[in-house]
Amino acid sequence: MAKAFMIFAKVFGLVWYWFVVPFRAYSRSVVHSYALDPSNDVRIKRLDERNPEWSELLKGWYLTPLPQHDVKIVHRGFVKYRKVSKLHFWLVVFLLWGWVDDDSNHDTFDTGHNDRYLSGDLKWHPMTLLFRFELEEANRKATYGNAFDIGDYRADYPNFSIPAALIWNTRNTAYNFNYLLLNI
């Protein structure tokens, strides 16, 4: 059943992604807060790897970036607590959050993946020929940090480029479902 759902998500997600991407900050806030709340029965391994620490003063969790990401991250991650019901959580997961990739190092794309198109093994790919300037511009303006490392700060530093997001999401469509349902 899980494999059939993931095949559906990959295909449907190529279109649905474009409808949910404007709501990614909201959906991340809901899902991360619910998953970090110890009174709930949901865990996201990628969030737990950031050793969340509760701050009573700020009513939320500080996140510690993974060592390989730490040197590039400007803000220590933080997820503000929000009261979220189980129904609200699952609706947001299946309607919004599951269709994006919170582990993308530049929000909706990854500059390293763009570099494959700009100067790597895919430099003669049709997407490169069509969108070289846009990919270069996306890489130049991008702020580093995936949502698991920087939490709610990602909403303050969004990165969106249609060509870069298109390239990334043909590779990583609906990837958040993997982090939650397959617990990778």
The beta strand positions in the chain, using DSSP E, are 53-55, 60-63, 77-80
pTM more than 0.85? yes
Query: What does the pLDDT read at residue 2?
Result: 72
Q: Which residue has the tokens 């969790």?
A: 61
Cβ 104 vs Cβ 38: under 8 Å:
no
Query: What does the pLDDT read at residue 74?
Result: 73
Ordered by start, the domain boundaries in the chain are 2-182
Query: What does the pLDDT read at residue 184?
Result: 58
**Average pLDDT per 10 consecutive residues for the chain, totaling 184 residues:** 82 96 97 97 95 97 86 84 98 97 95 96 94 97 93 93 95 93 74
Cβ 33 vs Cβ 97: under 8 Å:
no
Query: What does the pLDDT read at residue 1?
Result: 57
Query: What does the pLDDT read at residue 75?
Result: 76
Query: What does the pLDDT read at residue 91?
Result: 98
24 half-sphere exposure, CB direction, 13 A CA radius: 28
User: Of 18, 44, 166, nearest to 102 (Cα)?
Assistant: 44
